[in-house]
């Protein structure tokens, strides 16, 4: 079986439908981790995040390589993807295998399952951090294999990156011809500058968004005012539009600042943001909701850190898990934790900071620091060895938004096998090495395959077979047509699949 390539397409599917109605569902307790070893390749030990101590009485050896297999939509522990990969790899490699069963969420409708991807990735990351703390698991020996939505969960579990600013011209009009195993998309274009003014609160129930009753009334009064005859002492002089805008803007900012400063309490928030910042607002307008939620929590103090959870009665421990000396507050982590001084210096240029300093620090730098120290989201920080994405899911994922999907920067090495691109799979290269067997859209032996399910499942079948055979050879090629005509026979070769990835 030879791996070959095709001209990629920009799967720019609208995400709006997935972001509105159905929120991500599920809790950490909904995930079950089935542990398998070479001695017990068919019988699993069921582990949950709350029963980690059960691993003490198993064959689990943290010094060995550990493989996490994550299934896709409508699958579960005993689905073919998990069975074929775990049975094959344990017959050839003496490693730890964890099958991540997230079927309580994967079994729902597709939009609900897709919306759970980021959250499940967080839960998996937390579980691996617990393994590291309890057993000394080495992250550079951790490997992931994920099929469909499971491939994106892998990326979210180990990611250490903030998506750069982007606009609608970032990829769609650039070159998307793929090569055999390495793709570099065009650089992102500079973002458009968007001005945003924070308006003061209204005394009445009227508010500003479009379609609200207060706006409609304001429009009526404005129209009446422009049509009425001027009343007042003459002579009168008109005011330029720019002067009016400047005056109104200054008035609005003054009212907002007064209102903010006179609000009772909010000590933490005012320390970091003594006044509204148009610069920070402009920088974060392009962010994902998840990153906005994290930054808001840190700047207000209402976040998932031990001190805040302890005050709510949800956690008995309030001490910082890094230095084990002071309470784990947002200010302590961002400004003064002694165990994070080196990381703080690498990120901000200072070992210690004051809250007021964050007015001049880029929000992207703040988020980079937060994710590098493993506080939120994909908390393994890209330090794991390898991810293999098996036909990562395409519907409701886009080229431009890397916050919720698999990407080349998610691990030391990311290999992706595309078998149903453009239908169920993501048809654009997204890893360090991307392979498109039989062109990457349809597969031999699948017949008409109108739904794409046959070709979609071939990704894990090929990968399981590669674990037995050592992999399939693919060649660098501009298109699948060129490959079939023999125009790429002398080009650089690379091996698809196998337990040890070909990193050429």
In terms of phi and psi (left: phi > 0; alpha: psi -120 to 50; beta: otherwise), the region of 252 is: alpha
Per-residue model confidence as pLDDT tens digits over 247-290 = 888 888 888 888 888 888 888 888 888 887 888 888 888 776 76
pLDDT band at 104; cut points 50, 70, 90: very high
Final residue before a domain boundary, out of 313, 339, 372: 372
Note the pLDDT of residue 192. 30
Under the banding of pLDDT at 50, 70 and 90, the label for residue 215 is: low
Residues of the chain above pLDDT 90, percent = 37
449-467 exposure pattern, b = at least 16 Cβ within 10 A, e = fewer: beebebbbbbbbbbbbbbb
Looking at the fold, whether 311 and 394 belong to one and the same domain comes out as no
Residue 20 has pLDDT above 50, yes or no: no
In a shared domain, residues 351 and 406: no
- Output the domain CATH number for residue 40: 3.40.50.1820
pLDDT category at 393 given cuts 50, 70, 90 is: very high
**What average pLDDT score do residues 327-331 get?**
85
Same domain, 318 and 351: yes
Mean pLDDT (whole number) for 208-218? 57
360-369 per-position pLDDT tens digit = 888 888 887 8
Residues 6+ away with beta carbon under 8 Å from 343: 369, 372, 373
Q: Identify whether residues 454 and 433 lie together within a single domain.
A: yes
Question: Do residues 308 and 412 share a domain?
Answer: no
Distance of CA 397 to CAs 292, 407, 423, 437, Å?
19, 12, 12, 22
Residue 201 pLDDT more than 70? Answer: no
In a shared domain, residues 33 and 154: yes
Least-confidence region, from 14-28, 237-251, 253-267, 474-488: 14-28
Determine, yes or no, domain membership for 270.
Answer: no
CA distances from 179 to 3, 389, 398 (A): 11, 17, 20
Share of the chain above pLDDT 70, in %: 78
User: pLDDT-derived band of residue 188, with 50, 70 and 90 as boundaries?
Assistant: very low
Name the residue with higher pLDDT: 284 or 224: 284
Any idea which of 57-71, 179-193, 315-329, 392-406 has the lowest mean pLDDT?
A: 179-193
Last residue of a domain, one of 353, 372, 391: 372
Say whether pLDDT at 182 is over 70.
Answer: no
Residue 189 belongs to some domain of the structure: no
Q: Which residues contact 252 (CB under 8 A, 6 or more apart)?
A: 197, 198, 199, 200
146: number of Cβ within 10 Å: 31
pLDDT band at 340 (very low <50, low <70, confident <90, very high): confident
Q: Say yes or no to pLDDT of 401 above 70.
A: yes
Same domain, 346 and 454: no
Q: Comparing 458 with 177, which gets the higher pLDDT?
A: 458
Q: What is the pLDDT of residue 409?
A: 78
Q: Do 349 and 433 fall into the same domain? A: no
Distance CA 85, CA 119 (A): 24
Secondary structure letter of residue 299 according to DSSP: H
Higher pLDDT, 270 or 13: 270
What does the alpha-carbon distance between residue 48 and residue 66 come to, in Å, rounded to a whole number? 17
Total number of domains constituting the chain? 2
Query: What is the tens place of the pLDDT at every residue in 108-133?
Result: 999 999 999 988 998 898 899 889 88
pLDDT of residue 236: 58
The answer to whether position 57 is within a domain reads: yes
- Can you give the pTM of this predicted structure? 0.59
Listed ranges 4-13, 135-144, 145-154, 301-310; the one with the highest mean pLDDT: 145-154
- Structure tokens given for 4: 């070959």
More confident residue, 394 or 293: 394
Together in a domain, 455 and 398: yes
Whether 327 maps to a domain, the answer reads yes
Structural domain ending residue among the three candidates 308, 340, 372 = 372
Task: Examine residue 317 and state whether it is found in any structural domain, yes or no.
Answer: yes
**If you average pLDDT over residues 11-38, what whole number do you get?**
63
- What rounded mean pLDDT belongs to the chain? 79
**Would you say residue 347 lies in a domain?**
yes
Residue of 390, 391, 472, 382 whose CA lies nearest to 424: 391
Q: Which are the contacts of 481, defined by CB distance < 8 A and separation ≥ 6? A: none
Q: Is residue 61 part of a domain?
A: yes
Average of pLDDT values for 207-234? 63
Q: Which of the pair, 199 or 477, is modelled with greater confidence? A: 477
In a domain, 337, yes or no: yes
Q: Buried b vs exposed e over 79-107: b needs ≥16 C-beta within 10 Å?
A: bebbbbbbebbbeeeebbbbbbbbbbbbe
Q: What angle do CA 150, 158, 105 make, to 5 degrees?
A: 35
Please state which of the ranges 11-15, 145-149, 403-407, 426-430 shows the lowest mean pLDDT. 11-15
Name the DSSP class of 230.
P
pLDDT tier at 398, thresholds 50, 70, 90: very high
Q: What are phi and psi of 143, to 5 degrees?
A: -130, 150
Residue that wins the pLDDT comparison between 241 and 60: 60
Residue 7 has pLDDT above 50, yes or no: no
Per-range mean pLDDT, top range of 246-260, 289-303, 310-324: 246-260
Measure the CA–CA gap between 375 and 449, rounded to whole angstroms: 43
Residue 221 has pLDDT above 80, yes or no: no
SS (H, E, C) 391-407: CCECCCCCCCCCCCCCC
| 191 in Cβ contact with 420 (< 8 Å) | no
Q: What's the Cα-to-Cα distance from 267 to each of 20, 46, 56, 301, rounded to whole Å?
A: 33, 45, 45, 9
What pLDDT score was predicted for residue 172? 31
Token pair 């880029």: residue:
362
pLDDT digits (tens, 9 = 90+) for 426-441: 989 999 899 999 999 9
Same domain as 409, residue 353 = no
The residue that leads in pLDDT, 461 or 265, is 461
- Examine the domain organization and report whether 59 and 156 are in the same domain: yes
For residues 353 and 386, membership in a common domain is answered with no
Q: What pLDDT, on the 0 to 100 scale, is given for residue 325?
A: 82
Range of the domain at 437: 15-160+379-467
């Amino acid at each position: 079986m030879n791996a070959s390539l095709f001209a990629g397409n920009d799967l720019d599917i609208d995400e709006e439908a997935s972001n509105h109605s159905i929120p991500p569902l599920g809790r950490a307790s909904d995930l079950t981790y089935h542990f398998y070893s070479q001695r017990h390749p068919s019988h699993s030990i069921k582990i949950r995040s709350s029963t980690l101590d059960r691993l003490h009485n198993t064959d689990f050896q943290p010094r060995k390589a550990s493989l996490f297999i994550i299934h896709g939509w409508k699958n579960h522990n005993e689905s073919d993807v998990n069975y074929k990969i775990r049975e094959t790899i344990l017959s050839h490699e003496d490693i730890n295998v964890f099958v991540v069963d997230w079927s309580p969420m994967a079994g729902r409708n597709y939009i609900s399952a897709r919306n759970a991807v980021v959250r499940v990735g967080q839960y998996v990351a937390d579980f691996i951090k617990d393994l590291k703390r309890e057993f000394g698991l080495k992250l550079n020996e951790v490997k992931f294999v994920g099929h469909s939505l499971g491939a994106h969960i892998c990326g979210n579990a180990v990611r250490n990156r903030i998506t750069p600013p982007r606009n609608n011209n970032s990829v769609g009009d650039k070159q998307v011809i793929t090569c055999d195993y390495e793709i570099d998309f065009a650089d992102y274009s500079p973002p458009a500058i968007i001005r945003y003014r924070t308006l003061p609160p209204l005394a009445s129930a009227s508010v500003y968004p479009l379609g609200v009753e207060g706006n409609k009334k304001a429009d009526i009064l404005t129209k009446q005012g422009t049509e009425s005859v001027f009343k007042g002492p003459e002579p009168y002089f008109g005011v330029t539009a720019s002067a009016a805008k400047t005056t109104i803007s200054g008035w609005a900012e003054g009212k907002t600042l007064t209102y903010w400063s006179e609000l009772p309490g909010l000590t933490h928030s005012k320390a970091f943001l003594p006044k509204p910042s148009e610069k920070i607002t402009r920088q974060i307008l392009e962010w994902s909701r998840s990153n906005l939620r994290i930054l808001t929590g840190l700047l207000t103090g209402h976040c998932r850190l031990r001190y805040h959870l302890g005050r709510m009665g949800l956690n008995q421990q309030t001490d910082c898990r890094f230095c084990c000396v002071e309470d784990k507050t947002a200010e302590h982590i961002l400004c003064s934790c002694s165990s994070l001084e080196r990381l703080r210096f690498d990120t901000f240029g200072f070992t210690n900071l004051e809250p007021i300093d964050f007015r001049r620090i880029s929000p992207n730098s703040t988020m980079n620091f937060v994710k590098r120290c493993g506080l939120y989201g994909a908390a393994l920080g890209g330090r794991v060895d390898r991810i293999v994405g098996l036909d990562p899911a395409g519907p409701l994922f886009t080229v431009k938004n890397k916050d919720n999907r698999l990407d080349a920067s998610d691990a030391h090495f990311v290999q992706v096998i595309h078998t149903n691109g453009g239908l169920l799979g993501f048809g654009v290269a997204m890893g360090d090495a991307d392979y498109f067997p039989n062109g990457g859209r349809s597969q031999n032996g699948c017949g008409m395959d109108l739904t794409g399910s046959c070709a979609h499942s071939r990704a894990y079948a090929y990968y399981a077979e590669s674990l037995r055979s050592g992999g399939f050879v693919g060649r660098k090629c501009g298109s699948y047509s060129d490959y079939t005509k023999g125009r790429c026979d002398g080009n650089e070769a690379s091996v698809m699949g196998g337990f040890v990835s070909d990193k050429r």
